[in-house]
Each structure stands twice: as C-alpha cells, then as structure tokens.
Amino acid sequence: MDEIKAGPIRMLPGPGKGKYPHCHSLYIEGAGVLIDPASDRERLVRLREEEGVSMIWLTHWHEDHLMHWDLFSDLPLWVGRQDAPPLMDMETFLDWYNMDLPENIHLRDFWRSLLKEQFHYAPRTPDRLLDDGEMIEINGVRIEVIHSPGHTPGHLSFWFPDHKVMFLGDYDLTPFGPWYGDKYSSIQQTLESAETLRRFPANTWFTCHETGVFYGDTEKLWDQYLAVVDRREEKLFEYLKSPHNSYRTMEDIINQWIVYGKAREPLDFFKFGERANMGKHLEKLIESGRVCQDGEHFYAL
C-alpha cells in the first residue's frame, strides 16, 4: 500500500494491509503528531529522523496500536482518559482482556511474554488525557477529539474540520465487523458511537486496518459494517433455539465459529476472540429476555 495524504494528514500503511498485529498510523505534518505507532517499524524510524515527531497519540489501548511506541519513549504520550489504566500496568492490561477469568488464566503467561517481546510493551503514564469535544490546534492544524467508546471505553476518533477528514481508528468499516469483546467493551456503545461517527460530513475517512481510506459517501459501508453485529446475534440465537430446548455450553458456542467463520490457527488465540465476542452477545440476549442461563448452559426462550 502507498502512503495517502489529505491536506497535512498522511496515512502510513502497516504491513499486510494493516491487519493484526499491525495497524495503519496517521501522521500530521507540521504538527509532528503520530497517531497509533504500529505500522512499519523502519518507516517510523525514518519518519522521526527525516521529518520529526513531537508526540504520540493513541486511539485506544490495544497492543496492535502501540507496537512501536518504544521508538518514541522519550516523547509525550496522549490518550483517551478512560483508556489510560492498561497502559500504566501490564497486569491491568491483561485483566482488561478478561485474562483474570478461570477460562483464560492459562493464556496469561504467554501474553506477558508476547506483549514484551513482540509489542515492546513497557508501562507508561500518559502525559495528557484527552476528553470528548476538545479542539486542539497545533501549528495551524485543528483537531477535534471525538470520544467513541464501545470498542474500548476510551476509544478516540479524530475530526479535522478544516480538511473534512475523519480518523475512525478501529471503527474500520471492514467486512469482519466491529470488535467488542474486552471486559469494558460494549455492543450498545459500539452501535451508538458508529451512529455518531457516520454523521460527520467527511470527504475522507481514514481507518486503522485493511482498506484504510474511504472517500465521499460511506453510508452503505456503515450499514454493512453494523449489520455484522445483528447477523452474529441472530446466528447465535438460532443455534440456541434449534433443536427446541437445546442446552449449549460456551464451548459448544465457540465451536460454531460465528465470529471467525471457521477454526483458525493459532487456535487458542481465535477461541479467545470467539469467546470474548460471543460472551457479549450472550449478555445482551440474557438482558433482553431472549436467552436464559442455567449454570454453564444457555438456552433460548
């Protein structure tokens, strides 16, 4: 992928079209702001040497958005207020992924090593906590902070009103659909944030993964992206409903691969993701009265 510009805003593509464990970074020329430093490591080194980086911003706390932040450990770090805790402590980071639960505890040591070795994680205290609606001007570039929770509690998007550019972060408009599987993620907040973001009068939409940039009218893309949420939930409900009065365990549900479509390797990683997102749908279905839980079993009403 090539670097893409819109005014002073430039997308730096991540390896493999920005698919996990990478993402696309955004660089604000003149201001020297680098958002989500997890694209190509060598490119980020050159960026600092040749053009300069003044500070690092994160859209949210996930590891695939901070992978190369160690290159900028001497620079100010800005992040959404609600997403600061996991950046400051690795055990909190793991807890926010529900790795304190019995079904996930076996992954904890593996993830500690992975975070240190692959993602260069070291606890950092953010220098500034960003809040919804702040208008920040740096070297003539105006950026509005948009709190867009759901994916994470402090997920931020950034609106550049003078250039009609929106950086959506991980509301990435991919066919996979949204992720809302963390301890403090929320399906309802994800849907509400998406409805807020899609109303901005943007001409250019940057995202953190895959295609990475969209132009003009994105209404159909938003509809397709959000339809994934309903489709997952209805597939889950139909599975619990048929045959009549079926009792299903979480392991049964995971093995339907409603989120990922099929079993993938590494199996533990994808089972973790399947469990995380299906758990949120089960909570929602139980709260709505469509599904009941009996011990370790779930069934549709």
Summarize pLDDT for 33-84 with one digit per residue, the tens: 999 999 999 999 999 999 999 999 999 999 999 999 999 999 999 999 999 9
Residues paired with 6 in a beta bridge: 9
pLDDT in tens, 189-229: 999 999 999 999 999 999 999 999 999 999 999 999 999 99
Q: How far is CA 37 from CA 47, 57, 73, 75, in A?
A: 11, 8, 11, 12
**Is 244 a residue whose pLDDT tops 90?**
no
Give dist(CA 54, CA 48) in Å, integer: 9
**Is 245 a residue whose pLDDT tops 70?**
no
In residues, how long is the chain? 301
CATH 3.30.565.10, domain 4-216, yes or no = no
Give dist(CA 263, CA 252) in Å, integer: 13
Residues near 88 by beta carbon (within 8 Å), at least 6 away in sequence: 123, 124, 125, 126
Q: Show the tokens assigned to 101.
A: 């639960």
Give dist(CA 48, CA 41) in Å, integer: 11
> What is the model's pLDDT at position 246?
84
CATH 1.10.10, domain 231-300, yes or no = yes
User: What's the first-to-final CA gap in the chain, in angstroms?
Assistant: 48
- Residue 243: which pLDDT band, with cuts at 50, 70 and 90? confident
DSSP string, 240-299: HHSSTT--EEHHHHHTT-TTTSS--SSHHHHHHHHHHHHHHHHHHHHHTTSEEEETTEEE
Query: Domain ranges in the chain?
Result: 4-216, 231-300
Question: What's the CA angle centered on 153, arms 273 and 277, to 5 degrees?
Answer: 20
DSSP E strands in 70-212: the ranges are 77-80, 128-130, 135-138, 141-147, 156-160, 165-167, 204-206
